[in-house]
Structure 1
Amino acid sequence: MPTLLETHIENRFRVQPHHANNHQTLHGGNLMKWLDEIGAMSAMRFAGETCVTAQVNRLDFSRPIGIGDTALVEAYVYDAGRSSVKVALRAWREEPRTGETELTTESTFTFVAVDADSSPVTVPSLTVETEEGERLRERALDRDE
């Protein structure tokens, strides 16, 4: 059975002018795409199957990410159903020269594991084996409430 920490993925995206809105900050739709891509990778690592987006449960933007900054995106599976996988996502603005970060976005997505015919398939049970994993899971579950 996969553990929570085995589903943890981080990726960085350099924010370029073509990613920006009229305020010269990252367009929310671009960030949402990146969250969806990294979230799906985390869900697939957990399920061992292709996973498709079923629902954006929550998406809170608290700060912008500017052109020239790096968007640091984190994802991990925190809950699972029969064929569904819940993924917690966060993004930070990262200053590429110093590594200084600032939390900008928190979200949760639900993915469904599917077979080659796009029919839902069963996913394994999630295990949490460490204090760090339990802390991450509790943080995500608290946001669900």
Structure 2
Amino acid sequence: MSQETTHGLPPKRMLESRAVKASIVLPPDTNNHNTMFGGKVMSYIDDIAAISAMRHCRQRVVTASTDSVDFLHPIKNGDSICLESFVTWTHKTSMEVFVKVTAEDLMTGSREICATAFLTFVALDPDNRPIVVPPVYPESEEEKFLHESAPARAEIRRERRSNSRELAQKFVCKKPWEV
């Protein structure tokens, strides 16, 4: 990878934004199926993704979108949950972050990838205006796969956002007591 700059900033390795968070799933984290609340997993995902985004740009960030959170396997009470995230792609002021969620049965050592997600963050200056972020470059095969497939996800994201805006225009914001 050449060390050319984009928008005046040198590129950074994906590894520099990598973040890992682990905890044990306890009864208050679970639903009536004795599995972890999906909303709690989503909160963990947003939290770790924000850390990766801030590590990459060294600026404050805001979540712009969550493309998807795909729950693949339940996470049970007593399991360890481990989240790993890193920036996979950048645009001028935005960053795509990949998050992988793994559960481990601490008694057997069995591990499964339980969820994956892509989120987009925008870096903000002190006046809460978008600010340019450094480009990112991949090194491992996993990173190259995610980096090369990112422009297609970005296009889907643009289309979805356009559709969301169109849908929002069809609804009028009313007070709950108005008909």
Q: TM-score, normalised on structure 1?
A: 0.89
The whole-number CA distance in structure 2 between the counterparts of 1:142 and 1:106 is 18
1:36-64 residue CA offsets vs partner (Å, 9 max, x unmatched)? 11100101111111111110011111111
Which ranges in structure 2 are unaligned for 5 or more consecutive residues? 1-10, 157-179
User: In the alignment, which residue of structure 1 is the partner of 2:116?
Assistant: 106
The answer for the alignment partner of 1:10 in structure 2 is 20
Unaligned runs of 5+ in 1: none
Deviations along 1:94-126, one digit per CA (max 9) or x if unpaired, are 122444210110110001101222211110111
Provide the rounded CA distance (Å) in 1 between the counterparts of 2:117 and 2:106.
23
* 1:70 equivalent in alignment to 2:80: yes
Aligned Cα root-mean-square deviation (Å): 2.0
Aligned length: 144
In terms of fraction of residues, the more strand-rich structure is: 1
What is the TM-score normalised by the length of structure 2? Answer: 0.73
Q: Structure with the greater relative contact order (CA < 8 A, sep ≥ 6): 1 or 2? A: 1
Which deviates more from structure 2 when the two are superposed, residues 89-98 or residues 54-63?
89-98
After alignment, is 83-92 or 110-119 more displaced?
Answer: 110-119
Q: Deviations over 1:50-93 (max 9, x none)?
A: 11111001111111101110111110111111111100111011
Question: Pairwise mapping of residues 53-92 of structure 1 onto structure 2 (< 5 A)?
Answer: 53-92=63-102
SS at match of 1:75: strand
Look up the SS of the partner of 2:50 in the other structure: helix
The CA distance in 2 between the partners of 1:143 and 1:82, in whole Å, is 16
Q: 1:142 to 1:27 in 2, by over 3 A?
A: farther
Within 5 Å, give how 1:20-35 maps onto structure 2.
20-35=30-45
Alignment pair present for 1:128 and 2:135? no
Matched to 2:143, the amino acid is G
Counterpart of 2:150 (choices 122, 141, 144) is: 141
C-alpha distance 117-5 of structure 1, shift in aligned 2 (>3 A) = same
**Cα offset, 1:2, TM superposition:** 1.6
Separation in 1, partners of 2:151, 2:62: 24
Distance, in Å, in 2 between the alignment partners of 1:143 and 1:66 is: 34
